[in-house]
Amino acid sequence: MREVRVSRFVRATPRELRRHLSPTTVVEAEDSFSVRAVDDVDGATLVTAGGGGLQLSLRFESREDGLYYTQEGQDGPFEAMETWVTLARENEGTRLTARSRVSLGLPLAAVTDRVAAWKRRGELNRALDNLAAAVE
């Protein structure tokens, strides 16, 4: 598995930003898939998302400092993917951070997982940009 991390300062309080931070807004903010269904199951939120001929299920859990989510099952672009989106008070705003671990589960993992991490970094950067734009 490869890990990527992106971060940006947002001119909004963690409380203001948290109001815009939901499983649906995070998936839409990544700008790779569209939300097709949302279900609450056992204290978690399951989001079915799709696009480009692909459909996947993401399991979201609310955390004190943000959200944690993982790809459920074998459907989806990754063999394994988990992501943390966290909020931390900083000066007159918030440090918004997204960290993700990904693996494609393919031969030559040193190369294929690096490509997956590169693509995931782009999704996370778009997500942070779009989430910040919603509150700034």
Confidence (pLDDT) at 76: 76
CATH class, domain 2-32+60-134, is: alpha beta
Confidence (pLDDT) at 7: 98
Strand boundaries in 31-79, DSSP class E: 34-41, 44-51, 54-63, 66-72
- With cut-offs at 50, 70 and 90, classify the pLDDT of residue 126: very high
Segments making up each domain of the chain, as ranges: 2-32+60-134
Place of tokens 């948290």: 18
Q: Is the pLDDT confidence value at 69 over 90?
A: yes
CB 68 within 8 A of CB 43: no
- With cut-offs at 50, 70 and 90, classify the pLDDT of residue 74: confident
Question: The whole model's pTM is what?
Answer: 0.92
CB 70 within 8 A of CB 59: yes
Q: Who's near 79: CB < 8 A, 6+ residues apart? A: 103, 104, 105, 106
Confidence (pLDDT) at 75: 76
CA 30 distance to own-chain centroid: 7
- With cut-offs at 50, 70 and 90, classify the pLDDT of residue 23: very high
Per cent of the chain over pLDDT 70 is: 100
Q: What average pLDDT does this structure show over 94-103? A: 96
